């Protein structure tokens, strides 16, 4: 029987784990690293690189090196998140035919699921190399705050990578599973996950193997990269002041600054001060210029203080949604590389009035939870029961541009709810249903998941026809919608075509193209 792997497909780093003899273990790659950078690159001579190999050449090939593709997956091209990513990413982001964001590097256009698939395939390869056997089945994690389109696209990525995705689960929920593994008793826990590109907070209740998510909240605009950017701006300003040269105009200099900023930030988690040295960072008529600067921990803390405080606001919102007081939380678990920063740990400890749990590795706990969930799914082990929730409210746009919520956020999934709709004009023969996800009261403030027209309604006065629309959210958090005209009993089968998701044909084409490419590589 083939084994199930758990994959934490991170914005910055990815990690793969498995259950071995009943014990969860992270699988190191051939370089001995337990995490792999979620990066993909095409070199000048057309070679495709993934992970550490891609990261290592990013400085000299920044335009053709993709990082943070997870910020773009399932997003509309014109969304604020894509705009935000543009500031962070030196590679080209272009609009796809489905109004989705795509990535253009090395003269080739890639969908975001395709880029994620390169990383998933690499994680699968790492696992296969370690196990010495093919791996097919996987549980993949996503931020709790991912909407329907982002989840569907992640599933598509799994398919392209040749994986059967048994389940998409939320990262904080996975972390809770890892924490709760073989633990009995009743506890309320908070999972605070600050990664490279996203922030998530979840409040969960555990009792004897049953994990129930009470509430979840997050911010997809916020992560370690934003900390790095603050340092980069600080360095750029100081250099402009001292040397009169604007480093932001030089892509290579900027990439070097980013790398140095991230390294300094990580070092400052252990040390009180670091020195940043970037020789030959620029030059002008007077010759080459070097950047050399001391950055004390206080400076970093001052630069990012508002970001850290911002996460605590989201924490409070989540506690409120969970109807739980800060004092009711028994354990706080820190997840994500950025949570290693002392300021973050201190702020969280102060906020909850207790020190965070020390027993889990913030880089590995999500993949481990995914592996545990995967094993539970194939072995039909009912000792561990996962009751997850939908992070965003689901509903439709109604007359006048309002948003009618039919499934409130934090409802346990899977869930199905139906509602009767009707016409607004006499003899109206069709209705248009626009399916939205989000928390705004006005329709346009929410994500449009898709829209459909139900036709063939028999002539009647306005308000008389009954159209029964049912909304389903499955255990993966993926939405489907069905509609039925109660007069005729006719069902209309409707699929929500979320932004950036791919048809089966498109997926097949990509797989075939990648396979072709693999053959080419071996020449
Ligand atoms: P993601 O879940 O988004 O893939 P990770 O959990 O791997 O992200 O976290 C990556 C982020 O954590 C990066 O911004 C990285 O710079 C930061 N990070 C990693 N180690 C440390 C550290 N020791 N101190 C501060 N930040 C760190
Ligand atoms: Mg993560």
CA of 218 to the centre of ligand 2 (A): 12
Please give the pLDDT value at position 479: 84
Strands 402-407 and 415-421 come out as: unpaired
* Region of residue 512 (left: phi > 0; alpha: psi -120 to 50; beta: else): alpha
Counting beta carbons within 10 angstroms of the beta carbon of residue 268, is it exposed (0 to 12), middle (13 to 18) or buried (19 or more)?
Answer: buried
Count CB-CB contacts under 10 A for residue 369.
Answer: 34
Separation in Å, CA 112 to CA 73, 109, 299, 392, 485: 5, 10, 36, 22, 37
Find out whether the beta carbon of 266 lies less than 6 Å from any atom of ligand 1. Answer: yes
CA angle, corner 189, sides to 184 and 190, nearest 5? 155
Atom of ligand 1 nearest to the CA of 225: 14
Find out whether the beta carbon of 263 lies less than 6 Å from any atom of ligand 1. Answer: no
Domain boundaries, the chain: 4-162+505-522, 224-301, 394-489
Question: What backbone phi and psi angles, to 5 degrees, belong to 229?
Answer: -60, -35
CA of 283 to the centre of ligand 2 (A): 38
Atom of ligand 1 nearest to the CA of 335: 6
470-491: b (≥16 Cβ within 10 Å) or e: ebbbebbbbbbbbbbbeeeeee
Cα 330 off chain centre by? 27
Which residue of the set 70, 188, 258, 265 is catalytic? 70
Q: Is residue 90 classed as helix, strand or coil in its secondary structure?
A: coil
Tokens coding 132: 């010495």
Q: Is residue 441 classed as helix, strand or coil in its secondary structure?
A: coil
For ligand 1, atom 19, the nearest C-alpha belongs to: 337
Find out whether the beta carbon of 143 lies less than 6 Å from any atom of ligand 1. Answer: no
Please give the pLDDT value at position 89: 82
Kindly state which CATH superfamily the domain 4-162+505-522 is placed in: ATPase, nucleotide binding domain (3.30.420.40)
Find out whether the beta carbon of 356 lies less than 6 Å from any atom of ligand 1. Answer: no
Identify which of 26, 196, 226 to mutate to test ligand 1's pocket (most ligand atoms within 8 A of the CB). Answer: 196
Residues in the chain: 523
Find out whether the beta carbon of 338 lies less than 6 Å from any atom of ligand 1. Answer: yes
54-88: b (≥16 Cβ within 10 Å) or e: bbebbbebbbbbbbbbbbbbbbbbebebbeebeee
Separation in Å, CA 226 to CA 116, 197, 222, 342: 22, 8, 6, 17
Q: Give the ligand at the shortest distance from the Cα of 342.
A: 1
Identify which of 69, 172, 224, 260 to mutate to test ligand 1's pocket (most ligand atoms within 8 A of the CB). Answer: 224
Q: Give the ligand at the shortest distance from the Cα of 171.
A: 2
| Three-class SS of 137-152 | EEEEEECCCCCHHHHH
CA angle, corner 38, sides to 35 and 40, nearest 5? 130
Find out whether the beta carbon of 36 lies less than 6 Å from any atom of ligand 1. Answer: no
Find out whether the beta carbon of 341 lies less than 6 Å from any atom of ligand 1. Answer: yes
Identify which of 337, 341, 361 to mutate to test ligand 1's pocket (most ligand atoms within 8 A of the CB). Answer: 337
Tokens coding 115: 């880029």
> According to the CATH classification, is domain 224-301 in 3.30.450.20?
no
Taking the CA atoms of residue 506, residue 143, residue 170 and residue 433 in that order, the dihedral angle to the nearest 10 degrees is: -60
171 is catalytic: yes
Separation in Å, CA 18 to CA 25, 27, 141, 210, 382: 6, 7, 14, 21, 19
Q: CA 190 to CA 321: how far, in whole Å?
A: 13
Residues of the chain with pLDDT under 50: 520-523
Please give the pLDDT value at position 520: 47
Find out whether the beta carbon of 224 lies less than 6 Å from any atom of ligand 1. Answer: yes
Find out whether the beta carbon of 10 lies less than 6 Å from any atom of ligand 1. Answer: yes
Atom of ligand 1 nearest to the CA of 363: 6
Atom of ligand 1 nearest to the CA of 362: 6
Residues 6+ apart with CB under 8 A from 7: 14, 15, 16, 120, 123, 124, 138, 139, 140, 141, 367, 370
CA angle, corner 71, sides to 18 and 39, nearest 5? 60
Report which of 380, 438, 432 is spatially closest to residue 406, judged by C-alpha positions: 438
Tokens coding 99: 């109004």
Q: Is the bond preceding 414 in cis, omega lying within 30 degrees of 0?
A: yes
Atom of ligand 1 nearest to the CA of 224: 14
Find out whether the beta carbon of 11 lies less than 6 Å from any atom of ligand 1. Answer: yes
CA of 84 to the centre of ligand 1 (A): 19
| Fold agreement between 224-301 and 394-489 | no
Report which of 295, 246, 238 is spatially closest to residue 271, judged by C-alpha positions: 295
For ligand 1, atom 20, the nearest C-alpha belongs to: 337
Find out whether the beta carbon of 171 lies less than 6 Å from any atom of ligand 1. Answer: no
163-173: b (≥16 Cβ within 10 Å) or e: bebbbbbbbbb
Sheet holding 92-95, edge to edge: 92-95, 101-105, 108-111
Tokens coding 522: 């071996």
Separation in Å, CA 412 to CA 1, 150, 388, 417: 32, 19, 6, 12
394-489: which CATH topology? Substrate Binding Domain Of DNAk; Chain A, domain 1 (2.60.34)
Q: CA 345 to CA 313: how far, in whole Å?
A: 15
Question: What backbone phi and psi angles, to 5 degrees, belong to 150?
Answer: -65, -35
Which residue of the set 100, 137, 156, 193 is catalytic? 193
Atom of ligand 1 nearest to the CA of 14: 4
Q: CA 369 to CA 375: how far, in whole Å?
A: 10
For ligand 1, atom 14, the nearest C-alpha belongs to: 224
Which residue, chain included where needed, has tokens 């600054």? Answer: 257
Find out whether the beta carbon of 12 lies less than 6 Å from any atom of ligand 1. Answer: yes
- Given a contact cutoff of 8 angstroms between Cβ atoms, the answer to whether 53 and 59 are in contact is no
Q: CA 235 to CA 229: how far, in whole Å?
A: 10
Evaluate the CA torsion angle 437, 438, 441, 444 in order and state its sign: negative
70 is catalytic: yes
């Amino acid at each position: 029987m083939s084994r199930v792997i758990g994959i934490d497909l991170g914005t910055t780093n990815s990690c793969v784990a498995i259950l071995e003899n009943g014990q969860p273990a992270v699988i190191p790659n051939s370089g001995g690293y337990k995490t792999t950078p979620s990066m993909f690159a095409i070199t000048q001579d057309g070679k495709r690189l993934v992970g550490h190999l891609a990261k290592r050449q990013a400085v000299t090939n920044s335009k053709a090196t993709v990082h943070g593709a997870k910020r773009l997956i399932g997003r509309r091209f014109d969304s604020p998140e894509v705009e935000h990513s543009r500031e962070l990413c030196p590679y080209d982001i272009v609009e796809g035919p489905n109004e989705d964001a795509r990535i253009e590097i090395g003269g080739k256009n890639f969908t975001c699921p395709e880029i994620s698939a390169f990383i998933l395939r690499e994680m699968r390869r790492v696992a296969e190399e370690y196990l010495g056997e093919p791996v097919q089945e996987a549980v993949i994690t996503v931020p709790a705050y991912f909407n329907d389109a982002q989840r569907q696209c992640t599933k598509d990525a799994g398919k392209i990578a040749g994986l059967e995705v048994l389940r998409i689960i939320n990262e904080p929920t996975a972390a809770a599973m890892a924490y709760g593994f073989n633990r009995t008793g009743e506890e309320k826990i908070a999972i605070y996950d600050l990664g490279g590109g996203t922030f998530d907070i979840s409040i969960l209740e555990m009792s004897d193997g049953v994990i129930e998510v009470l509430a979840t909240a997050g911010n997809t605009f916020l992560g370690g990269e934003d900390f790095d950017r603050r340092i980069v701006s600080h360095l750029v300003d100081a250099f402009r002041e001292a040397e009169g040269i604007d480093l932001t105009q030089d892509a290579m200099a900027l990439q070097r600054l980013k790398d140095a900023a991230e390294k300094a930030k990580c070092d400052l988690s252990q040390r009180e001060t670091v020195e940043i040295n970037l020789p030959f960072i620029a030059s002008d008529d007077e010759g080459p210029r070097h950047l050399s600067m001391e950055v004390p921990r206080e400076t970093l803390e001052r630069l990012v203080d508002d970001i850290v405080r911002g996460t605590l606001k989201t924490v409070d919102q989540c506690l409120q949604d969970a109807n739980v007081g800060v004092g009711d939380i028994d354990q706080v678990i820190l997840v994500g590389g950025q949570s290693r920063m002392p300021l973050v740990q201190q702020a969280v400890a102060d906020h909850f009035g207790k020190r965070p749990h020390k027993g889990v590795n913030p880089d590995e706990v999500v993949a481990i939870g995914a592996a545990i969930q995967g094993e539970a799914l194939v072995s039909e082990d009912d000792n561990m029961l996962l009751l997850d929730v939908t992070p965003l409210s689901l509903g439709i746009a109604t007359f006048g541009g309002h948003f009618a919520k039919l499934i409130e956020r934090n409802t346990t999934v899977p869930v199905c709810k139906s509602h009767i709709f009707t016409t607004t004009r006499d003899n109206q023969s069709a209705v248009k249903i626009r399916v939205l996800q989000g928390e705004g009261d006005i329709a346009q403030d929410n994500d449009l998941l898709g829209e459909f027209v139900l036709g063939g309604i028999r002539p009647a006065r306005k308000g008389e026809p009954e159209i029964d629309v049912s909304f389903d959210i499955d255990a993966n958090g993926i939405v489907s919608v069905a509609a039925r005209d109660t007069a005729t009993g006719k069902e209309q089968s409707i699929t929500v075509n979320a932004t950036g998701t791919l048809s089966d044909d498109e997926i097949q084409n990509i797989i075939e193209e990648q396979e072709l490419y693999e053959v080419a590589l071996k020449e």
